[in-house]
Amino acid sequence: MSPAEAKKRIESLSSELKQHNYNYFVLAMPTISDFDFDKKLEELNALEKQFPEYVDSDSPTQKVGGDITKEFVTVKHRWPMLSLGNTYNEQELLDFDQRIRKAIGDNFEYVCELKFDGLSISLTYEDGKMVRAVTRGDGIQGDDVTTNVRTINTIPKRLHNGGYPDEFEIRGEVFMHLKAFERLNAERLENGELTYANPRNFASGTLKMQDSSEVAKRPLDCFLYFLYTDKLLFKTHWESLQAVKSWGFHINEHSRLCSNIDEVFTFINYWDKNRFGLSYDIDGIVIKVNNYAQQQELGFTAKSPRWAIAYKYKAAQAETELLSVSYQVGRTGAVTPVANLKPVLLAGTTVKRATLHNADEIEKRLKLHEGDWVYVEKGGEIIPKIISVNLDKRNPLAPAIQYIKNCPVCNTPLERKEGEAVFYCPNDEGCPPQIVGKMQHFIGRKAMNIDGLGDETIETLYQKGFICHISDIYNLHLHSEELKQLGRFGEKSINNMLDGIEKSKQMPFEKVLFGLGIRYVGETVAKKLVAHFKTIDNLASASFEELIVAEEIGERIAHSLITYFSGEKHKEEIEKLKAQGLQFISDEKEIILDSEKLSGKTFIISGVFENYSRDELKDIIEQNGGKIVSSISAKLNYLVAGDNMGPAKLEKAQKLNIPIISDAELLGMIG
Domain boundary assignment for the chain = 3-54, 74-312, 316-393, 432-579, 602-669
| Class level of CATH domain 432-579 | mainly alpha
Q: How confident is the model at residue 397 (pLDDT cuts 50, 70, 90)?
A: very high
Mean pLDDT, the chain, rounded, equals: 88
Beta bridge partners of 312: 284
The count of C-alpha atoms lying within 13 angstroms of the C-alpha of 57, restricted to the half-sphere facing its C-beta, is: 0
Q: Which CATH superfamily is domain 602-669 in?
A: BRCT domain (3.40.50.10190)
Residue 659: how many other CB atoms lie within 10 Å: 11
Kindly report the backbone phi and psi dihedral angles of residue 539, in degrees, each rounded to the nearest multiple of 5, phi listed first: -65, -45
pLDDT at 195: 74
Please give the positions annotated as active site: 115
pLDDT (tens digit per residue) in 53-82 = 888 766 887 655 554 445 688 899 999 898
Query: Which one has a higher pLDDT value, 634 or 440?
Result: 440
Strand ranges, E, within 501-628? 602-606, 627-628
Of the candidate ranges 114-128, 473-487, 532-546, 555-569, the one whose mean pLDDT is the lowest: 473-487
**Which among 337, 313, 317 has a CA at the least distance from the CA of 327?**
337
Same fold, 432-579 and 602-669: no
pLDDT at 296: 86
**Which among 312, 389, 317, 306 has a CA at the least distance from the CA of 41?**
312
Q: How confident is the model at residue 606 (pLDDT cuts 50, 70, 90)?
A: confident
Kindly report the backbone phi and psi dihedral angles of residue 27, in degrees, each rounded to the nearest multiple of 5, phi listed first: -85, -15
**Which among 460, 571, 588, 467 has a CA at the least distance from the CA of 533?**
588
Question: Residues 254-267: what's their mean pLDDT?
Answer: 96
The domain 3-54: what is its CATH number?
1.10.287.610
pLDDT at 192: 66
Query: Which one has a higher pLDDT value, 314 or 81?
Result: 81
The domain 74-312: what is its CATH number?
3.30.470.30
| Burial class, 365, CB count within 10 angstroms (exposed 0-12 / middle 13-18 / buried 19+) | middle
H/E stretch holding 355: strand 349-355
Q: Does the structure show a pLDDT above 50 at 155?
A: yes
Q: Please tell me the distance from the alpha carbon of residue 611 to that of residue 100, in angstroms, as a whole number.
A: 53
CATH architecture designation of domain 316-393: Beta Barrel (2.40)
Under 8 Å between Cβ of 337 and 408: no
User: How big is the chain by its Cα radius of gyration, in Å?
Assistant: 29
Kindly report the backbone phi and psi dihedral angles of residue 282, in degrees, each rounded to the nearest multiple of 5, phi listed first: -125, 150
**Which among 384, 323, 502, 526 has a CA at the least distance from the CA of 441?**
526
pTM to 2 decimal places: 0.57
pLDDT at 68: 45
Strand ranges, E, within 537-644? 602-606, 627-628, 638-641
Q: Does the structure show a pLDDT above 80 at 26?
A: no
